[in-house]
Structure 1
Amino acid sequence: MFCPSPLPLSMLATAAAPSEWIQRFSHVIPPASQVLDVACGRGRHAAFLAELGHQLTGVDRDAQALAHLPASVRALHADIENAPWPLPEQQFDAVVVTHYLWRPLWPQILGSVRDGGVLIYETFAQGNAAFGKPSRPDFLLAPGELLQVCNGWQVVAYEHGLRSQPDRVVQRIVAIKPGAAHSAPVPLTA
């Protein structure tokens, strides 16, 4: 059974702990990486990853939420659904996305991962309507959708199914973009 590493002390004081998925696979991100947190909100993942020594950029449309990011995180206020992608041509060692789905952004999200870089993605999936929101199909991944999106990438881990506390249906993936940075197999646990 996997036991995630303890949270950094600074995370214990925040209201929302980082996702178990992000904690479990944060070791796949090479040390001192440049990381993009898409739709970062108040920055629970950005803060966690910055605490691990990464250089973070968090993008969100909610300026009030961005104000809660640690000073070490580069905050980028942008409406990524209704305006041009705010980071054209910029690539990161890792891109993290949780509880967010806007399919028209797949090319920008995948393009933001540099060759050999890591995508860690987790959001709600079909079946979640039985437990609450989101319930609209536009915001729920179809079975295997993240595997299709990451076709040709090295899949380190993939899950789709019911999670508890709270009950929800999620789909999540950790995938490495083809390239030279990750030439050796990635361990499933740190």
Structure 2
Amino acid sequence: MIPPSPWVTAHAAQIKTGGQVLDLACGSGRHARWLAGLGYRVTAVDRDGEALVALGAVANVQTETMDLEGDVWPLAGRQFDGIVVTNYLWRPRLPDLLAVLAPGGVLIYETFMLGNEAYGKPSRPDFLLQPGELREVVAASGLRELAFVEGYVAEPKPAMRQAVCARRD
């Protein structure tokens, strides 16, 4: 099993103890499992229902198969104390995603940025953040930035990454 992202593990304690956390585009659920183990109540969402099957028996994890890129935002009206997103970017839904972050909630977001095409996939500009883009999205949404990094990382494989941790005050 792939360990959780160091960015997620470094910032998860900012989320309210025992809070409701959304693991968006969770894939095999490495973060959902880890967060549930810490006592968070996790909603693990992905479009691949097959990937979610193994999470069905994990305590404190509820799985939901959803199309996150369709015409209708499936999480509208819900609220989460924490949102974790790694290795996923769908710009048209960023405002909708941030709208489900509850007051006091924490966003932990990490994905690829421009320049990653030199190291492999993703390489299409649609799936690569521009320099400072997450910082700008957070500021425009009224969230308070707690931490931000961008640039080259060697682990777990060479890539260009960008990450933010922010709170809705």
SS of the residue 1:94 aligns to: strand
Which residue matches 1:17? 3
Structure number with the higher strand fraction is 2
Normalised to the residue count of structure 1, the TM-score between the two structures is 0.84
Which residue matches 1:75? 63
Larger C-alpha radius of gyration, 1 or 2? 1
How far residue 115 of structure 1 moved from its aligned partner, in angstroms, is: 1.3
What pairs up with 1:1-190 in 2 under 5 angstroms?
A: 15-69=1-55, 70-151=58-139, 152-165=142-155, 166-178=157-169
> What percent identity do the matched residue pairs reach?
48
Q: 2:39 touches 2:60 (CA, 8 Å); kept in 1?
A: no
Normalised to the residue count of structure 2, the TM-score between the two structures is 0.94
SS of the residue 2:96 aligns to: helix
How far residue 71 of structure 1 moved from its aligned partner, in angstroms, is: 4.5
Residues 153-174 of structure 1, C-alpha deviations (whole Å, 9 max, x = no match): 2111000010012100000000
- Alpha carbons of 1:103 and 1:38: their partners in 2 closer, same or farther (altered >3 Å)? same
Q: Could you list the runs of 4 or more consecutive aligned residues of structure 1 that deviate by over 2 angstroms after TM superposition? A: none
Residues 30-70 of structure 1, C-alpha deviations (whole Å, 9 max, x = no match): 21010001101111001100000000001100011011212
Q: State how many pairs are aligned.
A: 164
Q: 2:22 touches 2:42 (CA, 8 Å); kept in 1?
A: yes
How far residue 72 of structure 1 moved from its aligned partner, in angstroms, is: 2.9
Q: 2:40 touches 2:60 (CA, 8 Å); kept in 1?
A: no
Q: For the residues of structure 2 that align with 1:86 and 1:18, how far apart are their CA atoms?
A: 26
Q: For the residues of structure 2 that align with 1:88 and 1:171, how far apart are their CA atoms?
A: 26
